[in-house]
Amino acid sequence: MAKKALLGTVTDTDLRLLRVFRAVVACGGFAAAELELNINRSTISRHIKDLETRLGVTLCRRGRGGFALTAEGENVHAGALKMMAAMDDFQQGVNDLHRRLTGPIAIAIFDKTATNPQCKIYRALARFDEEAADVHPEIYVEPINAIESGVMEGRFQLGIIPNHRPSSSLAYYKLFDEQMYLYCSSDHPLFTQKDSDLSVEEVRNSKYVGIGYHSPNMEVGREMGQNREATAYDQEGVAHLVLSGAYLGYLPEHYAEAFVSSGRMRALLPGEFHYICEFSAIVRHAPAPNRVTQKLLDALVSAHQV
């Protein structure tokens, strides 16, 4: 005889418990979720216990070792995010029928873009607020692969990423460029050498920190014959390793400017070691963007055409 599922029909109470669970995971634990949920820790703990009883699995470990999801908790969390994204899409669809622009919109952006003078995301958000004042933006900063998968799965309605390899599941809208150079810190042996005294081979053979997932950074490093001897997963990580004096690394010119101005970094052979990142807004091909997402997308494209 087949084992009867413990959950059965998903009720409003289940949805409320799943939202508590989602907040706990997003905050990284019960204590941090108190402020987000505006309920005390003992109530949060009881809600999670009720959800575990309802599902018949242990969702997380909590104690002196800190908060951590179990394998079952990872699966439930991933499923809950997909379900809630689908519910948000449904709600937006109903709002579309009544021509209302309300509800949340989840936006994921690649890191260190705000200081780029070519980036006009802030202008688009200002226009969006004027035209959709009742919409609640939720902005996440994530790596490229997390943004792409999140948009495909519906967890994010819109993403902004550096172009690398296109996906047939996504639609791309060019926004702005970002100039990248190869930097070393003032503690690196090459810092005091003039560019005229440096050779491409000398720079190429120096220890190099690269981004650890498929990206323009990874492609350029390979093309230039640079062997990655340290790995970072965002620009901040690259900057820390460059500042250590042990590694060279590519950084956006606008982000590195503060380090250069203070004498802590310099670009090496900028005529040779450089590349340009193109940034695009991405949305799913199907289903088509709802009115709220389309309104933001239009604002982003318009802001970057000025």
Range from 51-55, 248-252, 257-261 carrying the lowest mean pLDDT: 51-55
The CATH fold assigned to 12-78 is Arc Repressor Mutant, subunit A (1.10.10)
User: Amino acid identity of 248?
Assistant: L
> 228-237, long-range: CB within 8 Å, 24+ apart, which pairs?
233/143, 234/111, 234/112, 234/143, 235/111, 235/112, 236/111, 236/112, 237/209
- Where are the domain boundaries for CATH 3.40.190.10 in the chain? 101-176+279-303
pLDDT of residue 2: 41
* CA pair distance 194, 196, nearest whole angstrom: 5
- Is residue 202's pLDDT more than 90? yes
8 A C-beta contact, residue 56 and residue 4: no
Range from 87-96, 98-107, 120-129, 190-199 carrying the lowest mean pLDDT: 87-96
User: Residue 205, Cα to own-chain centre: how many angstroms?
Assistant: 32
Check: CATH 3.90.1150.10 for 177-277? no
pLDDT of residue 4: 47
- Where are the domain boundaries for CATH 1.10.10.10 in the chain? 12-78
268-302: pLDDT as tens digits = 999 999 999 999 999 998 888 988 999 999 999 99
- Is residue 196's pLDDT more than 70? yes
Check: CATH 3.30.470.20 for 101-176+279-303? no
- Is residue 91's pLDDT more than 90? no
- Where are the domain boundaries for CATH 3.40.190.290 in the chain? 177-277
User: Could you tell me the pTM of the whole model?
Assistant: 0.69
154-163: pLDDT as tens digits = 889 999 999 9
